[in-house]
Structure 1
Amino acid sequence: MILLVISSIICLQAYEIDVNTFSNYLDVHNRHLHLEWLLNMDKKYINATSVYTFQVVGPQINKISLDIYKLNIYSTYLTNGLLLPHTIDSPYADSDQGQRLNIQLDRTYYRGEYIELSIKYSIDSKSRSISFMTKEQTSTKTMPYLFSQCEDANCRALAPLQDTPAIKQTYTATIIFKDTEAADVFMSANESQDQFLILNKPQDEPNFNWKYKYFIQEVPIPSYLIAIVAGNIEKKKTSTGGRTYLISEPDKIVPYADELKDMEQFLLAIEDYIGPYTWGTYTLVIQPPSFPIGGMENPLLTFANPSIMTGKGTGLSVTIHEMAHSWFGNTITCVNWANMWINEGFTVFLERKASFTHYNSTDDIKLNAIIGNTSMYQDMLGYGLNSNFSSLHPDTTGLNPDDSFSEIPYEKGFQFLTYLEQIVGQDDFKQMLRAYLDQYKYQSIDQKEFQNFLLRYLQEQDVKDFSTKRYKILENWDKWVYNPGLPPVILDFSTNKLTEAQEYCDGYIRADGQQPTNWQDYDNFLQTQKLIFLEDLYKKAENNLLKLNVVDQIDKDLKLTQENDFELKFRWFRAILTAGDKNRLTQVAEFLGQIGRGKMVYPVYRALNQLDHEFAVQTFQTHEAFYHPIARNNIRNILGLRDSFIQ
């Protein structure tokens, strides 16, 4: 067992509590987790044992409480074999957050003592953190496929855990699998060089061999970053001499690797701004299309939706974003999901700094910020401008924190940091961020601690006009963090490229179903200009200004219904459905069965539901088995089918 001892242990009681965990994490911390899993991918089942090393941090304890979600718990026992009694309860009548596993200890343990115990359990298809796919759902159609998705609080469906970002632990894992069910298995950890093929074939099933792999994660990480992928997959280096790798199904790996040939350059661009990458290698997994999000920043094993692979490199901003999480989110982590912007806002800020270094396009960065602001505002309208979910500090007491997931922590957080940068100055702000990473490396913090550090740093560095800057920083801090709705200070991201895209949209509206003279300008637009054009088209549709004859002319000129770039395609479908177009419902339904990324399917389902509820429900029922459990749940909610949710 590998146990990394951290010299400085943070006092979590000084930070905000996590309302989304049932564990007694303020009294006892898990320092190391070992997983032993036997995969049965055909039967969608995992036979599991988890082994824990807990340390008492409160005065004393006589029980340990952990988070679980629909796990089958068989036994709990100390490593010396002594069985411990356990009970399961649900603190809330609505079990969407899961249940609490209470383990009664053999005696009272006191501050500083360690407790080693084990839990035998199993995972089945009811899990919302593990997606079991049949071989028919994969590209190669030769083996079943398995992948995890744990953020926000879904790792409790992977193992009994202190499922809170406040707790970081090292972990190891032994994964046993059939060679007929998976060509390989990878986790968010380093692979041991000792990997064995068990040659003894089972007498009742002689047509396969057992394989096993051993993984070691020596850096402490929160539970939501534990990740696994298994199936007909292979690993390939993306550049000679670089640190970056790609994993995908073998039929896709060559074109994917070609499109991702600049991954090492992305990493260098981020390092140029923020400092060295400390995780060793970087591996990106292009998942099957049912993966519910654009990307997930699991250390050493980032997951991404195939919608980022456009063949033109236009979707690779997701890659830069997930890389940037290696510094913000993975190295420094939010202490609870009310502080998610500590992960996401910082990452968007770093992503855009690195994108400028790599692409050297101020216009592109500004347009990205405008597009992000539009998405943020739409999410705010969805929650309500007065809802605390439209603030940077959502209250999810009694709720699954997934319910508050939106663009708001990303974009409002980015704008807040940009506002602070304008006060502090670009160079001083960059140096502050580097010092911030050094100070809180491998820790979890809240926004108040960041505020304290920022002010302390500026004072210690004797930054020019410190008193004035301190006043400006504190003047609007609480408004930025706690107030719902739009930011208290509106930032200017305007550019001539924005005006060009907006005027292009207006030109089609004025042409009233005819071809505008400048229609070919679209081919020379930046990718972000195309997105602005489609966002503007959606606004026109909302205001009843997008006529169906205009829709037909745009599609005739730009062929957007046949577009392969899903960032463009979902915006097109959302706009035309809002305009009342029923002529392309077949193509809309096909699109909704091709991709499971929430960012893309949720807006289209909302627009389709408004236009034709019965067709929207029929489309969902046709593709329901394709979607990840998280996406299925959210789409049911959009369609008003949430009461029928059974999992």
Structure 2
Amino acid sequence: MRRIAATLTILLATTACQTMPQSGTSAAEGATLAAPILTSPEAVDTLTYAKPQIARVTHVALDLDLDFAARRVAGSAQLSVLAAKDADELILDSNGLLIERITDSAGRDLAFTVGETEVEGGKGAPLSIAIGDARSIRIDYRAPQDASALQWLTPQQTSGGEHPYLFSQGQAILNRTWIPTQDSPGIRQTWEARITAPKPLDVVMSGVQQGEPEDLGDGRRAFRFLMDKPVPPYLIAIAAGDIDFKAIGPRTGVWAEPSVLENAYQEVADTEEMVVAAEALYGEYRWGRYDMIVLPPAFPYGGMENPVMTFLTPTFIAGDRSNNGLVAHELAHSWSGNLVTNAVWGDSWLNEGVTTYFENRIVEAVYGKKRAQQEAALMFANIEEVLGEVGADAPGTALSTEGEYELGSAIAYDKGAFFLLTVENIVGRERFDAWLRQWFDNHAFEPATSEMFYEDMMENLVASEREAKALMLREWIFEPGLPSNVAKPDPSAFSEVDAAVSDYARMQTIPAAYPGWTAAEQMRFLDSVPAELPASQLAALDTALGLSDTGNNEILFLWLEMALENRYEPAVPQAEEFLARVGRAKFVRPLFQVLWDQGDWGRPVAQRIYAKTRDNYHSVTRAGVDRILAAE
């Protein structure tokens, strides 16, 4: 197994970043480059206790046992450290970790303290280690049973119903609940892992598996993984369960539970074509393999872009690939987010907005311009809806913010994408693509800030003062609202649907063409009909359009949201069934919010459903619903 360097070579500092002088050695073997640490004021991560400019982690080697009976991960983490010559303390992030012992490479005990826990925001506590001149340390520890990053599922919560399941979700700062390291997107690290699990479970991680599993002879097997490229620590991920694999192309494939695998494969069968399209746009795919795992429905997000192993929700499976823009999005993260990463979470748009733009370009290349235009129009409607709710000048509507995309996807994702669409529209696609490609190339495997993005555009893209004025770059990135130069979507993208919406609003005419529409067109219609509808019209829509019976969860969600907003009693049992089988926060939180907003009619329903479903949700989803139901 190749590991990281005995002697560390440091990347040269630039005007936007600075690294510490080379010092010390690690216990690992072979040479590597340590990604730079940005030290400009806007790159300081307030969500970590680490002081990486003094002492930083460059490599993590995990040796962990998965105990499904105790619902606990335990073992050791070997950390390679790069530190200034006079540094004698290393500060890590911890949230509930039970530290048993810390030693140096000679096995000598190192003193450590765990500071006061900051409960609000999940920051946890600083783990301060007196390293002296040690540059390789071993931490023996256990993760808490309630580690927020991990969800342990009983057999009954899986499709197969016979074996337990585990998956992690580390973004943004949850991995500090099961891995002792410096948990900041600006402190990139290589890593490796040895994971033991009971037979017959398979283990996958966001690193490349090394060889075949080792039979330990005690009913357990050991799996080994390696990520030899420096990644932000939130991208270290694990899943274990009764899962099988099916290849798509020479470097792509999908894992899923056996009963789900064929449907999952059919839904993502275009993935190899997507990788080819992405490479044609912005250069080589640099991670080797691109595999995916379709997780049980408790997974809280649509997808998570973990390198070499994208995690996906089963709720995107519609049978017609209409929702696999999700796959294009997670694939695009292999460039924007994984290759070049926001240094702080207030610049999340650098990951998500750039990726959403890139996703749309992949969709256009693989599925055609019409579908790309329609999906862009849905994004723009999302922006307008949020700005209408919070106000066009609300501070949180700037791309670069103080927190982690506090207003949800409409700003970091959709406004970020329309920023790049607008720039492309002004400078031309050819020039813009060349610029974005060099951005990825020149900052590969490094953190970045909004200021760096702006300065790079000014230096390498903008051709004149006149063009700079037309682009309004600073307004887009640092000011709230939607700049006046926004490249609005083509109004013809949904001309037929918008006409049908108008007809329905005037005469309650249900469109006969609906069954033949694309999923995007159907969603546009459901999202645009009048908000207030009587029970008779809701019943007619459901019957005529088959909304209750749709296999597309995106459309089913829109139907349930609309029905509950209008206190449509027949939708309550269906909403209860939906919320019991789906854990995706995008669906769960809004439906509980709708019920809660209905006062005496909806609140008892929300409380009854949540009492049954809460334990099935990941901590990410639970936290959001807890806040809703705690509100007066």
> Structure 1 length normalisation: TM-score?
0.89
Distance in 2 between residues matched to 1:402 and 1:492, nearest whole Å? 22
In structure 1, what is the equivalent of residue 51 of structure 2? 24
Distance in 2 between residues matched to 1:523 and 1:478, nearest whole Å? 44
- The letter of the residue matching 1:229 is A
In structure 1, what is the equivalent of residue 93 of structure 2? 67
Q: 1:534 Cα shift? A: 1.3
Structure 1 residues 8-64: Cα deviation after superposition (integer angstroms, max 9, x where no partner): 25521135211111111232221111001011112201112111011015x732211
In structure 1, what is the equivalent of residue 625 of structure 2? 635
- The letter of the residue matching 1:504 is A
1:599-618 equivalences in 2 (<5 Å): 599-611=586-598, 612-618=602-608
Residue 39 to residue 395, structure 1, CA distance change in 2 (3 Å): same
Question: Are the equivalent residues in 1 in contact too, given 2:348–2:405 (CA < 8 A)?
Answer: no
In structure 2, what is the equivalent of residue 548 of structure 1? 535
Structure 1 residues 69-109: Cα deviation after superposition (integer angstroms, max 9, x where no partner): 1221222221211212222223746363212111123x3x5
Distance in 1 between residues matched to 2:313 and 2:459, nearest whole Å? 40
Question: Are the equivalent residues in 1 in contact too, given 2:300–2:620 (CA < 8 A)?
Answer: yes
Secondary structure of 2:89's counterpart equals strand
Residue from 563, 581, 605 that aligns with 1:576: 563
Question: Are the equivalent residues in 2 in contact too, given 1:138–1:145 (CA < 8 A)?
Answer: yes
In structure 1, what is the equivalent of residue 192 of structure 2? 172
Residue from 601, 616, 619 that aligns with 2:609: 619
Q: 1:381 Cα shift? A: 6.0
Question: Are the equivalent residues in 2 in contact too, given 1:332–1:437 (CA < 8 A)?
Answer: yes
Distance in 1 between residues matched to 2:407 and 2:507, nearest whole Å? 41
Residue from 281, 303, 323 that aligns with 2:331: 323
Distance in 1 between residues matched to 2:392 and 2:63, nearest whole Å? 46
Residue 359 to residue 94, structure 1, CA distance change in 2 (3 Å): closer
Secondary structure of 1:64's counterpart equals strand
Distance in 2 between residues matched to 1:314 and 1:583, nearest whole Å? 27
Q: 1:404 Cα shift? A: 5.8
Secondary structure of 1:177's counterpart equals strand
Distance in 1 between residues matched to 2:484 and 2:91, nearest whole Å? 41
Question: Are the equivalent residues in 2 in contact too, given 1:508–1:550 (CA < 8 A)?
Answer: no
**Are residues 1:413 and 2:420 paired?**
no
1:16-165 equivalences in 2 (<5 Å): 16-57=43-84, 60-90=86-116, 92=118, 94=120, 96-105=122-131, 107=132, 115-165=135-185
- The letter of the residue matching 1:134 is T
Q: 1:264 Cα shift? A: 0.7
Distance in 1 between residues matched to 2:410 and 2:487, nearest whole Å? 17
- The letter of the residue matching 2:49 is F
Distance in 2 between residues matched to 1:46 and 1:384, nearest whole Å? 45
1:347-386 equivalences in 2 (<5 Å): 347-361=355-369, 363-379=370-386, 386=393
Structure 1 residues 411-431: Cα deviation after superposition (integer angstroms, max 9, x where no partner): 111111112222322101101
Residue 597 to residue 194, structure 1, CA distance change in 2 (3 Å): closer
Distance in 2 between residues matched to 1:557 and 1:627, nearest whole Å? 33
Structure 1 residues 291-337: Cα deviation after superposition (integer angstroms, max 9, x where no partner): 00000000011000001111111111100110111111111111111
In structure 1, what is the equivalent of residue 447 of structure 2? 444
Distance in 2 between residues matched to 1:429 and 1:146, nearest whole Å? 42
Structure 1 residues 140-184: Cα deviation after superposition (integer angstroms, max 9, x where no partner): 0111100010011111112112111101111010001111xx521
Residue 381 to residue 285, structure 1, CA distance change in 2 (3 Å): farther
Distance in 2 between residues matched to 1:356 and 1:628, nearest whole Å? 33
Q: 1:587 Cα shift? A: 0.8
Q: 1:228 Cα shift? A: 0.5
Residues 330-339 or 2-11, more deviating: 2-11
Distance in 2 between residues matched to 1:45 and 1:430, nearest whole Å? 46
> Structure 2 length normalisation: TM-score?
0.91
Residue from 519, 530, 536 that aligns with 2:528: 536
Distance in 2 between residues matched to 1:507 and 1:312, nearest whole Å? 28
Q: 1:468 Cα shift? A: 2.2
Distance in 2 between residues matched to 1:320 and 1:95, nearest whole Å? 31
**Are residues 1:485 and 2:495 paired?**
no
- The letter of the residue matching 1:480 is W
1:555-570 equivalences in 2 (<5 Å): 555-570=542-557
Distance in 1 between residues matched to 2:297 and 2:212, nearest whole Å? 33
Distance in 1 between residues matched to 2:119 and 2:364, nearest whole Å? 49
**Are residues 1:423 and 2:426 paired?**
yes
Secondary structure of 2:278's counterpart equals helix
Residues 330-339 or 1-10, more deviating: 1-10
Gaps of 5+ in 1: 202-208, 460-464, 643-647
- The letter of the residue matching 1:294 is G
Residue from 203, 225, 236 that aligns with 2:235: 225
Distance in 1 between residues matched to 2:523 and 2:470, nearest whole Å? 34
Question: Are the equivalent residues in 1 in contact too, given 2:405–2:412 (CA < 8 A)?
Answer: no
Secondary structure of 2:412's counterpart equals helix
Structure 1 residues 528-573: Cα deviation after superposition (integer angstroms, max 9, x where no partner): 1111111113xx21xx3x2222111111101102212011011111
- The letter of the residue matching 2:66 is L
**Are residues 1:247 and 2:264 paired?**
no
In structure 2, what is the equivalent of residue 470 of structure 1? 468
Distance in 2 between residues matched to 1:102 and 1:405, nearest whole Å? 34
Question: Are the equivalent residues in 1 in contact too, given 2:114–2:127 (CA < 8 A)?
Answer: yes
Residues 620-629 or 387-396, more deviating: 387-396
Question: Are the equivalent residues in 2 in contact too, given 1:125–1:132 (CA < 8 A)?
Answer: no
Distance in 2 between residues matched to 1:101 and 1:384, nearest whole Å? 41
Distance in 1 between residues matched to 2:631 and 2:89, nearest whole Å? 39
Gaps of 5+ in 2: 19-37
Secondary structure of 1:441's counterpart equals coil
Secondary structure of 1:330's counterpart equals coil
Distance in 2 between residues matched to 1:439 and 1:602, nearest whole Å? 39
Residue from 256, 265, 268 that aligns with 2:276: 268
Residues 94-103 or 586-595, more deviating: 94-103
Residue 92 to residue 39, structure 1, CA distance change in 2 (3 Å): closer
- The letter of the residue matching 1:265 is E
Question: Are the equivalent residues in 2 in contact too, given 1:87–1:103 (CA < 8 A)?
Answer: yes
Distance in 2 between residues matched to 1:325 and 1:86, nearest whole Å? 37
Secondary structure of 1:432's counterpart equals helix
Question: Are the equivalent residues in 2 in contact too, given 1:167–1:222 (CA < 8 A)?
Answer: yes
**Are residues 1:213 and 2:223 paired?**
yes
Distance in 1 between residues matched to 2:589 and 2:48, nearest whole Å? 27
In structure 2, what is the equivalent of residue 236 of structure 1? 246
Distance in 2 between residues matched to 1:402 and 1:369, nearest whole Å? 20
Question: Are the equivalent residues in 1 in contact too, given 2:353–2:415 (CA < 8 A)?
Answer: yes
Q: 1:436 Cα shift? A: 1.2
Q: 1:523 Cα shift? A: 1.4
Secondary structure of 1:639's counterpart equals helix
Distance in 1 between residues matched to 2:143 and 2:408, nearest whole Å? 25
Secondary structure of 1:252's counterpart equals helix
In structure 2, what is the equivalent of residue 462 of structure 1? none
